[in-house]
Structure 1
Amino acid sequence: MIERITKEIMQIGDPVTFEDIAGLEGAKRLVVELVCWPMQRPEIFTGLRSLPKGLLLFGPPGTGKTLIGKAIAHESGATFFSISASSLMSKWIGEGEKLVRALFAVAAYRQPSVIFIDEVDSMLCQRSSDENEASRRLKTEFLVQLDGAGTKSTDRVLVVGATNRPQELDEAARRRFVKRVHIPLPDSAGREQLLRRLLQKNAHSIADADIANIVDKTKGFSGADIHTLCGEAAMGPLRELHADIRRIRINDVPPITAKHFAAALASMRPSVSDAEMLHYRKWNEEFGSFLQK
């Protein structure tokens, strides 16, 4: 079981830093204070200042919750575990619960560790009397381990959950994620920063005034929406060539211009509605650890 967890769950990918995440300055500052400082200086953060066992990142899809989880592991020098329900499920009765216990044991052995659960609502949704017995046992075991039953109070093991459906979390799971941070849509400064970073990767002739205009027209867009918008605009120069793509030289591809973004904006809409944003704000006011100013 330990070998299975080490091979299948531990993720070794490109390092992600908080500087790589555009915008979200308030959320990044909170995460650094709550998580990175206690992991880097455990001798200072003891007692009331000790590392929280659970951190919940909630907000609309495409805002960078997964990137923040990876940045936590990289900035703190922690071992990163990225798990899902498929990683822990088994056809054998009782093996799923044993895998959960083994996961926390390996995380404690390799501490500091970050256990990241994307779409945590799918694994820790509200319990009911008619749900599958195997999933219920797995959920219960995970809640027991998340409460610190399988690790010491001094162990530097953090469970980070990310979800865009926080209202579907089980009440016991919500209590165990003691810090709940809202990851909102990027503001105008964050959208501008993201646009400039994405445009660095391709030749373009877009002036600062054009970028300001694009930022104004992308109000309500998530980070993923802006990435899709830039990808659609980058296809504009290729479509204008009207030539066989197999015979085009790289130097013949014209730069991206403002008109390409105008055409891309005409065919795109935000993926998050105002009604959904209202739900996130209400949940944050009721259960969030830090209210947005």
Structure 2
Amino acid sequence: MQGVGTDNEGILVLGATNIPWVLDAAIRRRFEKRIYIPLPEEHARLYMFKLHLGNTPHMLSEDDLKQLAKKTSGYSGADISIVVRDALMQPVRKVQSATHFRKVQGPSRTDPNVILDDLLTPCSPGCPGAFEMTWVDVPGDKLFEPPVSMSDMLRSLATSKPTVNDEDMVKLDKFKEDFGQEG
């Protein structure tokens, strides 16, 4: 970075790391400001859940999302992304493992404004109207994947742990005290 040029106007060099304690003194000197950005707070985690869900069909209420944000203290943005991506796969897993399907009403894949009443969605064998079949027997245009539910999110959350541990947090706090600034 030293001697990049004589006219550095308009040039910003930005670096980021999750392990700043491995940086040597020479590189720390070249970055004049070191700003510590903590793990996301609850309101930020709530926003991240909404962002990662996007327009995916789901049955999550605002209270459900707030509960998820509360349960994910210590999770990074990447950790939350993993939880949501795994939860988004739960309906696919339900379809693939289903032994019974039932007819439901829902939007057509070709025209969401058209409501069809002969779509097929996975269900338990004892569900009224259930008939035995596997997903390979369901025509592609008739498959209605169940929307993501709170139980899908909780199942994913149970298997996805935060990647930043207490030991790393202690090291980050020490680095911030020694060399950094609050964000």
Give the 3-state SS of the residue equivalent to 1:161 in structure 2.
Answer: coil
1:67-146 matches, within 5 Å, as: 142=1, 144-145=2-3
Give, in angstroms, the shift of residue 281 of structure 1.
Answer: 1.1
After superposition, give the CA deviation of every residue in 1:26-74 in whole Å (9 maximum; x if it has no partner). Answer: xxxxxxxxxxxxxxxxxxxxxxxxxxxxxxxxxxxxxxxxxxxxxxxxx
In structure 2, the gaps of 5 or more residues are: 99-134
Matched, 1:230 2:84: yes
Instruction: Tell me whether 1:196 sits opposite 2:60 in the alignment.
Output: no
Structure 1, residues 68-103: CA drift from partner, whole Å, max 9, x if none? xxxxxxxxxxxxxxxxxxxxxxxxxxxxxxxxxxxx
Q: Does 1:257 align with 2:142?
A: no
Q: Tell me: CA distance 1:270–1:285, structure 2 relative to 1, closer, same or farther (3 Å).
A: same
Please report how far the alpha carbon of residue 199 of structure 1 lies from its aligned counterpart in structure 2 after TM superposition. Answer: 1.5
Give the residue type in structure 2 aligned to 1:145.
Answer: G
CA distance in 2, matches of 1:240, 1:161: 42
Change (3 A) 1:246 1:220: farther
Bigger CA radius of gyration: 2
Q: Structure 2: which amino acid aligns with 1:204?
A: H
Report if aligned partners of 1:204, 1:256 keep a CA contact under 8 Å in 2: yes
- Amino acid of the structure 1 residue aligned with 2:7: K
Residue type of the alignment partner of 1:272: V
Give yes or no for the alignment of 1:219 onto 2:111. no
Is 1:151 matched with 2:42? no
Task: Select 2:168's aligned residue among 276, 287, 290.
Answer: 276
| 1:269 counterpart SS class | coil
CA distance in 2, matches of 1:226, 1:250: 32
Q: Call closer, same or farther: CA 1:180–1:246 in 2, change over 3 Å.
A: farther
State the partner residue of 1:169: 23
How many angstroms apart in 1 are the aligned matches of 2:140 and 2:87? Answer: 19
Match in the other structure for 1:119:
none
User: SS of 2:28's equivalent?
Assistant: helix
Contact 1:285 1:291 in 2 (8 A): no
Structure whose residues are more often helix by fraction: 1
Identity of aligned residues (%): 34
SS in 2 for 1:179: coil
Give TM-score scaled by structure 2 length: 0.72
Aligned length: 145
Q: Which residue of 2 aligns with 1:137?
A: none
Give the Cα separation in 1 of the matches to 2:179 and 2:92: 48
Alpha-carbon distance in 2 for matches of 1:171, 1:245: 64
Q: Aligned-pair distance for 1:246?
A: 8.7
Query: Secondary structure of the equivalent of 2:16?
Result: strand
The whole-number CA distance in structure 1 between the counterparts of 2:142 and 2:77 is: 28
State whether residues 232 and 264 of structure 1, in contact with CA within 8 Å, keep that contact through their aligned partners in structure 2. Answer: yes
* C-alpha spacing 1:246/1:157, structure 2 compared with 1 (3 Å): farther
Matched, 1:291 2:162: no
Residue by residue, what CA displacement relative to the aligned partner does 1:113-152 show, whole Å, maximum 9, x if unpaired?
A: xxxxxxxxxxxxxxxxxxxxxxxxxxxxx3x226xxx223
RMSD of aligned residue pairs (Cα, Å): 2.0
